A and B are shown apart, each in its own frame.
Chain A
Amino acid sequence: MDRVSVIVSHGSLEGVYPALIMANGARMEGIEVSLFFTFFGLEPIIERRMDHLQVATVGNPAMHIPTLIGMLPGFPTLVTSMMKKEMEKLDIPPVREFLQMIHDAGAEIYACKASVDMFHFKKQDFWSGVDDIISVGEFYEKAADGQIVFT
């Protein structure tokens, strides 16, 4: 495999990390990578939000906690900080550092134009590592002849 294009469509911490790990892992294997952030998946590349992603504690049966507990004020913050500690132990960096690492490794980082327009974001709202805001057509052009991973 020479090229993989990873689509990120979720904005929760646990929704973003699998994509970043897949993208970084691909670069480590010498595979060309592009990341395409769409819908709520824009969160990790919005400058003012990327350091504040949280784990979704409601509507996730795999959390094994009752929804009413997951709703308590401060609970998502607590779970998020616990998960971040566990990830640091495994050498998994915070979102900003991880994205920088992936970008420095040569991966291309794109925001989905339709989502950017829908959420009324401007170019200056984005983290500086974002290479461009592109349409879905341009995404497919860049992804041509490679694999596409949707997360």
Chain B
Amino acid sequence: METLEILGKHLAVDKDGNLVNRADWNEEIARAIAAQEGIGELTDRHWAVIRAMQKAFDRDGDAPSIRRLTNESGVDVKTLYQLFPKGPAKKAAKIAGLPKPKGCI
């Protein structure tokens, strides 16, 4: 099992580098992952997306991809790409401590 060093802890990650254990996740870890991913400071809008993603995952068992993420978070596509420039669904899932979304759309 691969691990990622975050805040001095070695946490288990999958092949995409996303956390394996949700229990390892907390807001401090999220901020550290965001920094590693080049997202920078997490604003309220980032958090709205991250929370919406976790909520959808807990309900559906899969992290939402772009179209569903806009509906779940109420944040439009343009803004999602401004918040998470290198792929909103993928990056937000990583910061949220979830596996990469499986959906294609």
Q: Measuring CB to CB, which residues of chain A are less than 8 angstroms from any residue of chain B?
A: 21, 24-25, 27-30, 90-93, 101, 104-106
Contacts and interface: CB of A to CB of B under 8 A. Distances in A.
Interface residues of B, number: 17
B66 interface: yes
Interface stretch (B2-10, B24-32, B44-52, B74-82): B74-82
B105 A92 contact: yes
Nearest to A93: B67
Contact of B66 (A30, A90, A101): A101
Contact of A24 (B78, B85, B86, B105): B105
The 7 closest A-B pairs by CB, nearest first: A30-B86, A104-B77, A30-B87, A104-B78, A91-B105, A28-B87, A91-B67
Interface string B78-98: 100100011111100000000
Contact of A30 (B65, B76, B77, B90): B90
A91 B81 contact: no
Contacts, number: 41
B104 interface: yes
25 contacts: A21-B104, A24-B66, A25-B104, A25-B105, A27-B87, A28-B66, A28-B90, A29-B90, A30-B85, A30-B90, A91-B65, A91-B67, A91-B105, A92-B105, A93-B67, A93-B105, A101-B67, A101-B77, A104-B76, A104-B77, A104-B78, A105-B66, A105-B77, A105-B78, A106-B81
Contacts of B103: 91
A76 B39 CA distance: 47
A28 B67 CA distance: 11
Contacts of B65: 28, 91
B55 interface: no
Contacts of B88: 28
A28 B105 CA distance: 8
A24 B81 CA distance: 12
Contacts of B77: 101, 104-105
Contacts of A101: 66-67, 77
A104 B78 CA distance: 5
Which of B76, B90, B105 has the most chain A CB atoms closer than 10 A to its own CB? B105
